[in-house]
Amino acid sequence: MNAVPRQKLVVIGNGMAGMRTVEELLAIAPARYDITVFGAEPHPNYNRIMLSSVLAGEKQVDDIVINPRAWYADNGITLHTGDPVVGIDRAAKTVTSANGVVVPYDKLLLATGSKPLMPPLPGLELPGVVAFRDIADVEKMLDAAEAKQRAVVIGGGLLGLEAAWGLKRRGMPVALVHLMPTLMERQLDVEAGGLLQKDLTERGLHFFTSGQTEEIMGVEDGRAQGVKLTDGREIPADLVVVAIGIRPNVDLAKASGLDINRGIAVGDDMATSDPAIYSVGECVEHRGQIFGLVAPIWEQAKVCASRLAGRDDAHYETPPLSTRLKITGIDVFSAGQLAAQDEADEELVYRDSARGIYKKLVLRADKVVGAVMYGDVADGSWYFQLIREKADVAAIRDRMIFGQAYADATCKGHAGGVDVAAMSDDAQVCGCNGVSKGAIVRAITGKGLTSLDEVKAHTKASASCGQCASVVQAILTHVTGEVVEAKAAGMCGCTDLSHDEVRKEILHQGLKTQDAVRSALGWRHADGCAKCRPALNYYLLCAWPAEYVDDYQSRFINERVHANIQKDGTYSVVPRMWGGLTTPDELRAIADVADKYEIPTVKVTGGQRIDLLGVKKEDLPGVWADLGKAGLISGHAYSKGLRTVKTCVGSEWCRFGTQDSTGLGVKLEKLMWGSWTPHKVKLAVSGCPRNCAEATIKDIGVVCVEAGYDISVGGNGGIELRGTDHLVRVATEGEVLEYAGAFMQIYREEARYLERTAPWVERVGMDYVKKRVVEDAEGRRAAFARFVFSQEYAQIDPWAERASGRVDAHEFKTLAEVG
Amino acid sequence: MQDWIKIGRVEDIPRLGARTVHTTKGDIAVFRTSGDDIFALFNRCPHKGGPLSEGIVTGKVVVCPLHSWTIDLETGEATAPDEGCTRPVESRVADGQVWLKLECAKKVAHG
Ligand code: SRM
Ligand SMILES: Cc1cc2nc3c(=O)[nH]c(=O)nc-3n(C[C@H](O)[C@H](O)[C@H](O)COP(=O)(O)OP(=O)(O)OC[C@H]3O[C@@H](n4cnc5c(N)ncnc54)[C@H](O)[C@@H]3O)c2cc1C
Ligand code: SF4
Ligand code: FES
C-alpha cells in the first residue's frame, strides 16, 4: 500500500482562475499533486462576477460560493484563507505566507488576479472610499446603503455601472462620474452608450459625463464627504466607489524576479519565465494582452491544467470576446470592432427609437467583424458566432440586421426570442464557459437532462454570469419537447429530483442537514416522507461522516432500536460472531441471557451466528448489557450496513485450504463492521475454489487460491440470484482489504439508497467498477482512505451505548401506565 | 366513564416520534409532530396489528413498521388504497402537559 510520492502544487490566489485550473486538473489527473492553496481573502472561492448581483440584492453571499470548504477537504486540498503569500524563494522552491507558513512546491501557480486601479487623487485614503472587487468591498457598500447615505461612483464602465445600479437598488441616491462623454465607450459606440445613459437616467441614476475628478473631499472627522470635479462642480457623497479599471496584481511575481510587462509574462503554455511557475487569470499578460473577463481565463485554466498534468500539446490562444452588462432589464451586447475604421469597413444600422432598440453590425469584406446591440440582444450570440467563424455573409447581408430568424428562411422552433432550431451545432451559447449548442444538446439527450440546473451542472452552460440562461432553457425546451419521458424518476412524492441529483447537490452545495437539503432543493413537504427521510439520512451520513448527526427518527424501527422487529412486536437480537467464530464464554453468555429473559427461540442463522428471537422491547437494554459483558457487540442483522462475513475453516484445518480464510474473514469484518451502506452488505471468504462459504453469491466474495486471493463482487442470494463478477486477483491480505474497502466506499458513495451491490454493478457495469477499483490505483487508495476515515465515526457499538442508559432511553420505556 | 388524564410532558415524546401508554384497554401510541402537535391512536395497525408507535412519523401520518400502511394521525384512517381504521384517542396539551381522554383511571404511574 505504498503510495507513489505525489508532487506538490502550491496555488497562490483562491479566486476564479486559480480554482478553475485546480478543478480542470482534478478532472484529468486527480492524484498527481498534493495541492495547497493560499487565498488572501478569508472566504472560500466564490463567483466574483456575481458580486454585482449580491450588491443589487438578487443573490446572497452564500449563493455565489463556487467551492465550499468541504470541496477542498473532499479533494484533499490544504486551504489557507485570509493568509496571503508574501514571498517566493525560487531557488529553494518554497513560498512563505504572511502568517509564516512555509510550503515547498514542485510546481507553483500564480493566480493573484488584479487590483482596482486607483487614480492619484487626494482623499483616496479616506474612510468611505471603496473599490468594487471583493466581498469586503460589497459589505462596505451594503453598510452604507443600510444607512441610506448618498453615493458617488467614479467610472462609467461595466463595473462602475453595475455598482451604481446595485446601490440604487438598495435605495441610495447615486451619481456617476465618468471621464468620457459616453458610457462604456470601450464596449459601446456613441449611440448605444447614449441609449444606455438615457435608460439609466430614467431609472433614477445621475450622470456627470466628461467629468474629471479632482479630489475626494473629507470632513473633519476624516470621512469622505463628496467629490469635486475639475470644472468646479461638487457632488456630495458619504460613499465613494472607485471603479475606473483594473491592473494586474504582479507584486509578488515582480519581487521574485519573474519577467513582467503590464502583467506576468506567460507563453502559450501558461508558464512564466520560470518553467516551474505557471500563471493564469487577470494577473497575466499573454502576447501583449491582459484580461478582464472570464471567458479567456477559462481557456487559460484548461491549458494550464493540461500542462500541469504533464501533457504538452495544449496551447492557449485568446478567443474573440464579447461583453454583456448585468443590469436586470437592460440588454446590452457587444463584440469585436465597435465602428468602421476605414473605408473598407461598412456599418449596418437598425434603429427603433420608440422601442429603444439599436443594432449595429460592422462588416469588412463580407464578414462580420463587430456587433453592438442595445435593447434587443437576442441575436447577439448568432452575430458573435458569425464573427468567430469569419463566415461569408454576402448572401444574407440585406436581412441579417433583423436577426437570424428573418435571415434564415427555414426557421422553426422559435423560443424565447432566439431561434434555437436554426442555430448551428457549434454556435456558442455560453460565452463564459465556451459551451456550444451541440454540447448542450448532446448532454441533454445523452444524459437525459430535463432541467436548467441539470444542464448547468453537466455542461457549465449558464453557470458563470447566467446571461445565457434563457437561451439554454430554450434549447432544453426545444430538445426535450421531442423527447418523451427522459427524466429519471424522482426520489419520492416530495421532490422531482432523482437520487443521483440529490446526492450531487448535497456535495455541491455543501448541504449538511436534512432541513438544509429540503429547503435548498425545494421539497414539497417540510418533514419529507418515510421514503426520502431514510435515504437523505444515509446520503448525509455518507457525505459528511465527521459532521452529520444521525437523525434516528428518520430510520426504520430496526435501525432505530438496533434490533429486528418481529410480527408480534417483539424483537430479535443477533450478536456479532467474527467470521463465524465463537467461544465457550460467548456461548455461555448467550445461554444465560436466554434463560434470564425467557427468550423463546434461539436459532443459528444462515449467516453463521446465533439469533435470539422474541425479546420484549423493554428487555433489550438488559439483554445487550449482559451480552456486552462477554464482549459481544451488535451484529447489525437489522441494518443497511455490514451484516456478516461468512468463512470456511481454510488452511488452518482443512486439507484443501490454500490460505487462512477464517482469519481473513475476521480481518474484513473488523475493518467493515458498523459501516452504513445503501443496502445491506454481506461478505464471505472461502479457503479454496470448493467455496464452502458460498462467496460467489455475496456482495463481496473472496476465494483463496494458491497464488493469492480472487476477489469478486456484486453477488446476491435472496430474491434474485446473481453470481459475483470477478474483479481482480491479488497476492496479499493487505491488498484484499484495500480493494474490498475501496469497492465498498465507491458503492457507498455512488449507489442509490436501497440498491444492493448486485443491481448497482449491473447498472454501472463491471468495466466501470474495474476502472475505479483496479485500474486507477490512486483512486482506489483514496477511496480506501475515505472508507477508513468514515469508519472512525461508525465503529461505535450501538448496543453498549443504549445499555448504558444514556442513549435513546425513552425508546425502551413506556410513557405512562393508566388503569 | 371517560376522564382527562395527564400522561406526561410534550418533550417526553421525541419530535417526529411516539411513546406508548399502557391502559387496561390496550396500548395507546402518543405521537408528536415536527410542529409539536400531539395525537393519540390505539397502538394497533388496522392491517395486522402492527405497533404504530414504532413507525416513521411525517406530517400528520405514521407509516406502520410491519408492512408500511400509512395511517392518518388525526382520524386513524388508513390511506387509500388500503382500507381500515384504528381508533383515535382525544388528546390536548396544556402548560406543556399532555392529557388523554381515557376510561376512568385507578392509578397513573409515570415512566
Ligand atoms: C435470521 C435470518 C434467517 C435465519 O434464521 O437464518 C434472516 C432473517 C431475515 N431476513 Fe434474510 N436472514 C438471514 C440470512 C439471509 C441470507 C443468507 C446469508 O446471509 O447468507 C439471505 C440470502 C443472501 C443475500 O442476502 O444475498 C437472505 C436474504 C434476505 C432478503 C433478500 C435480499 C435480496 O437482496 O434479495 C431479505 C429482504 C431484504 O433485505 O429486503 C431478507 C430479510 C430478512 C429479514 C430481515 C426480514 C425482515 O425484514 O424482517 C429477516 C429478519 C428475521 C429476524 O428478525 O432475525 N433476507 N437472508 C438470517 C440472518 C443472517 C445473519 O446472521 O445476519
Ligand atoms: C463586480 C465584478 C463583476 C464582474 N462581472 C464580470 C462579468 O459579467 N463577466 C466576466 O467575464 N467577468 C466579470 N468580472 C471579471 C471577473 O470576475 C474576473 O475576470 C475574474 O474573477 C478573474 O479571476 P482571477 O482568478 O484572475 O482573479 P480573482 O478572481 O480576483 O482571484 C485572485 C485572488 O487571488 C488573491 N490573491 C492576490 N494576491 C495574493 C497572495 N499574494 N496570496 C494569496 N492570495 C492572493 C486575491 O485576494 C483574489 O481572491 C467581474 C468582476 C467584478 C469585480
Ligand atoms: S426467508 Fe423469509 S421467512 Fe425466512 S427469515 Fe428470510 S424473510 Fe423471514
Ligand atoms: S400491520 Fe401495519 S401494515 Fe401490516
Q: What is the bridge-based pairing of β-strands A174-177 and A284-286?
A: unpaired
Q: Is A648 annotated as a binding residue?
A: yes
Taking the centre of ligand 2 as the mean of its atom positions, its distance from the CA of residue A282, in whole angstroms, is 7
Distance of alpha carbon B43 from alpha carbon B29, whole angstroms = 5
Q: Is A494 annotated as a binding residue?
A: no
Strand partners, A334: A323, A372
Distance of alpha carbon A492 from alpha carbon A532, whole angstroms = 6
Residue A485 pLDDT class (50, 70, 90 cuts): very low
Q: Is the CB of B16 under 6 A from ligand 4?
A: no
Alpha helix locations (H) across A262-373?
A: 294-308
Distance of alpha carbon A793 from alpha carbon A544, whole angstroms = 10
Strand partners, A13: none
From A567's Cα to the closest Cα of chain B, the distance in A is: 7
From A815's Cα to the closest Cα of chain B, the distance in A is: 5
Q: What is the DSSP string of A32-76?
A: SEEEEEEESSSS--B-GGGHHHHHTTSS-GGGGBSS-HHHHHHTT
Which chain B residues have a beta carbon less than 8 Å from that of A814? Answer: 19-22, 27, 111
CB A418 within 8 A of CB A440: no
Count the alpha carbons within 13 Å of A689 in the hemisphere toward its beta carbon.
5
In the structure, how many helices (H) and strands (E) does chain B have? 0, 11
Instruction: Identify the CA nearest to A262 among candidates A296, A225, A291, A293.
Output: A291
Torsion angle of the four alpha carbons A236, A240, A241, A246, in this order, in degrees rounded to the nearest 10:
110
**Residue pLDDT, tens place only, A494-545:** 988 999 999 999 999 999 999 999 999 989 888 899 889 999 999 999 999 9
Question: Is position B65 within any domain?
Answer: yes
Q: Is A688 annotated as a binding residue?
A: yes
> What count of other Cβ atoms lies within 10 Å of the Cβ of residue A685?
34
Q: What is the bridge-based pairing of β-strands A234-236 and A224-229?
A: antiparallel
The predicted structure's pLDDT at residue A413: 35
CB A814 within 8 A of CB B22: yes
Residue A803 parent element (H or E):
helix A798-803
Q: How many residues does chain A have?
A: 819
Distance of alpha carbon B26 from alpha carbon B52, whole angstroms = 13
| Interchain contact, A817 vs B111, CB within 8 Å | yes
Instruction: Identify the CA nearest to A382 among candidates A471, A476, A479.
Output: A471
Alpha helix locations (H) across A429-531?
A: 437-447, 452-459, 469-480, 499-508, 514-520
Q: Is A543 helix (H, G, I), strand (E, B) or coil?
A: helix
Q: Is A116 helix (H, G, I), strand (E, B) or coil?
A: strand
Question: Is position B97 within any domain?
Answer: yes
Question: Is position B111 within any domain?
Answer: no
CB A743 within 8 A of CB A773: yes
Find the ligand nearest to B51 CA. Answer: 4
The predicted structure's pLDDT at residue A297: 96
In this complex, is the C-beta atom of A525 within 8 Å of any C-beta atom belonging to chain B? yes
C-alpha cell at A732: 496479499
Amino acid identity, residue A335?
Answer: A
From B10's Cα to the closest Cα of chain A, the distance in A is: 11
Torsion angle of the four alpha carbons B53, B58, B59, B60, in this order, in degrees rounded to the nearest 10:
-20
Which chain A residues have a beta carbon less than 8 Å from that of B111? Answer: 813-817
Query: Which residue is closest in CA terms to ligand 1's atom 37?
Result: A718
The predicted structure's pLDDT at residue B9: 93
Instruction: Identify the CA nearest to B55 among candidates B7, B20, B100.
Output: B20
Q: What is the bridge-based pairing of β-strands A33-39 and A78-81?
A: parallel
B47, B53, B71, B83: which to mutate for ligand 4, most atoms within 8 A of CB? Answer: B47
Question: Is position B69 within any domain?
Answer: yes
Q: Is A78 helix (H, G, I), strand (E, B) or coil?
A: strand
Distance of alpha carbon A498 from alpha carbon A752, whole angstroms = 9
Question: Is position B110 within any domain?
Answer: no
Alpha carbon B34 to chain centroid, angstroms:
15
Taking the centre of ligand 1 as the mean of its atom positions, its distance from the CA of residue A541, in whole angstroms, is 24
> What count of other Cβ atoms lies within 10 Å of the Cβ of residue A95?
24
- Taking CA atoms, A695 is separated from A380, A393, A717, A720, in Å, by 62, 69, 10, 16
| Interchain contact, B12 vs A815, CB within 8 Å | yes
**Residue pLDDT, tens place only, B21-52:** 999 888 999 999 999 999 999 999 998 899 99
The predicted structure's pLDDT at residue A375: 87
Distance of alpha carbon A648 from alpha carbon A660, whole angstroms = 9
What total number of domains does chain B contain? 1
| Least confident piece of the model among A406-415, A669-678, A733-742, A754-763 | A406-415
- Burial category of A120 from C-beta neighbours within 10 Å (exposed 0-12, middle 13-18, buried 19 and up): exposed
The parent domain of residue B51 ranges over: 2-101
Which chain A residues have a beta carbon less than 8 Å from that of B15? Answer: 553
CB A80 within 8 A of CB A41: no
**Residue pLDDT, tens place only, A752-808:** 999 999 999 999 999 999 999 999 999 999 999 999 999 999 999 999 999 988 888
C-alpha cell at A804: 448504558
Percent of chain A with pLDDT over 70: 97
- Burial category of A769 from C-beta neighbours within 10 Å (exposed 0-12, middle 13-18, buried 19 and up): buried
Atom of ligand 1 nearest to the CA of A637: 63
The predicted structure's pLDDT at residue A486: 35
C-alpha cell at A345: 469597413
Q: Give the burial string for B66-76 (b: 16+ CB within 10 Å, else e).
A: bebbbbbbeeb
C-alpha cell at A765: 457495469
Mean per-residue pLDDT, A121-128: 90
Laid out side by side, the sheet with A564-565 consists of: A564-565, A571-573, A610-615, A601-604
pTM passes above 0.90: no
Question: Is position B109 within any domain?
Answer: no
In this complex, is the C-beta atom of B11 within 8 Å of any C-beta atom belonging to chain A? no
**Residue pLDDT, tens place only, A430-477:** 877 788 888 999 998 888 888 888 888 788 888 777 778 778 888 888
Pocket of ligand 1 (CB under 6 A): A 564, 566, 572, 574, 603, 605-607, 609, 611, 637, 643-644, 680, 682, 716-719, 756
Question: Is position B107 within any domain?
Answer: no
Write down all domains in chain A, each with its CATH number in brackets: 7-114+248-308 (3.50.50.60), 129-244 (3.50.50.60), 499-555 (no CATH), 556-639 (3.90.480.10), 641-819 (3.30.413.10)
Laid out side by side, the sheet with B97-103 consists of: B2-9, B97-103, B91-94
CATH at residue B74? 2.102.10.10
Query: Nearest CB to A526: which of B34, B50, B111?
Result: B34
Mean per-residue pLDDT, A86-97: 97
pLDDT at A417 over 70: no
Question: Is position B106 within any domain?
Answer: no
In this complex, is the C-beta atom of B58 within 8 Å of any C-beta atom belonging to chain A? yes
- Taking CA atoms, A797 is separated from A345, A632, A635, A674, A812, in Å, by 80, 10, 9, 8, 17
C-alpha cell at A52: 454585482
Instruction: Identify the CA nearest to A621 among candidates A603, A634, A637.
Output: A634
Distance of alpha carbon B1 from alpha carbon A4, whole angstroms = 80
Mean per-residue pLDDT, A114-138: 93
Atom of ligand 4 nearest to the CA of B68: 3
From A537's Cα to the closest Cα of chain B, the distance in A is: 13
Taking the centre of ligand 2 as the mean of its atom positions, its distance from the CA of residue A24, in whole angstroms, is 18
CB A695 within 8 A of CB A686: yes
Q: What is the DSSP string of A759-773?
A: HHHHHH-HHHHHIII
| Interchain contact, A527 vs B51, CB within 8 Å | no
Residue A412 pLDDT class (50, 70, 90 cuts): very low
Angle, in degrees to the nearest 10, between helices A16-28 and A294-308: 40
Q: What is the bridge-based pairing of β-strands A277-279 and A107-110?
A: parallel
Taking the centre of ligand 3 as the mean of its atom positions, its distance from the CA of residue A718, in whole angstroms, is 10
Pocket of ligand 2 (CB under 6 A): A 12-18, 38-41, 48-49, 51-52, 84-85, 111-113, 132-133, 159, 162, 249, 252, 281-282, 292-295, 297, 326, 432, 465
C-alpha cell at A640: 443497511
Q: What angle do CA B59, B62, B14 make, to 5 degrees?
A: 75
- Burial category of A522 from C-beta neighbours within 10 Å (exposed 0-12, middle 13-18, buried 19 and up): exposed
